[in-house]
Amino acid sequence: MRSANFQKETTLNLRIDPALKVEFMSAVAEEDRVAAEVLRNLMQGYVEESRRRRFAAEARRQSQIIAASEDEAEVMRWIQDVSALETGQ
């Protein structure tokens, strides 16, 4: 997906099993798709999923910190600080 601004593209060279390449090229041809487009979509999906995993891991980490805290006032200050960041205050 391109934004309104011109973006330079780069090339990615990789080694794959020749049989896999033949099957992949056949599959995209059968679906009347462009191999590069399919690969870009797969890469974008992987990056998005990676972001979700990192976000979930950070949320778990923060939840564990809060759960381990015995100081309710400290937890409330932390929640207020995070809320302020999210609202831009």
Give the domain ranges of the chain. 18-87
CB atoms within 10 A of CB 40: 14
pLDDT of residue 4: 57
Report the 10 Å Cβ neighbour count for 29. 11
Let me know: does 75 contact 69? Beta carbons within 8 Å: yes
Summarised one tens digit per residue, pLDDT across range 34-45 is 999 999 999 999
pLDDT of residue 5: 61
- Name the helix (H) or strand (E) containing 2: none
Cα distance between residue 60 and residue 12, in whole Å: 34
Give the pLDDT of residue 46: 97
Assess whether pLDDT exceeds 90 at residue 71. Answer: no
- Kindly tell me if the per-residue pLDDT of 75 is higher than 70: yes
